[in-house]
Amino acid sequence: MGTLNVRTDEAMETAIRALAEDFGSRTEAVRYALLRTYKERLVEQAEADATRLDADPDDRAEMLAIQRFMGVSD
């Protein structure tokens, strides 16, 4: 496992202190914030992909063909 050094400003320190109260330490607070942000980004990408698939009938047809091939759709 690696180590990360980050320079913080007053706003960051305030956020870290508040999260550390809930998560027990500064390290756990930063881990939580990073993983939560990463998860939100993945969800945003998935939503964008879903929107794109809905907008392009060729992509939707391909997606359905793959699902049929995998046996997850009729």
For the chain, give every domain's residue range: 10-70
pLDDT of residue 55: 66
SS (H, E, C) 13-26: HHHHHHHHHHHCCH
User: What DSSP character marks residue 72?
Assistant: S
Is the pLDDT at 72 greater than 90? The verdict is no
Select the more confidently predicted residue: 52 or 14: 14
Q: Tens digits of per-residue pLDDT, 23-55?
A: 999 999 999 999 999 999 988 888 787 777 676
pLDDT of residue 74: 65
* Measured distance CA(50)–CA(61) in Å, rounded: 13
Cα→Cα distances 5→8, 24, 29, 32, 70, Å: 10, 19, 14, 16, 45
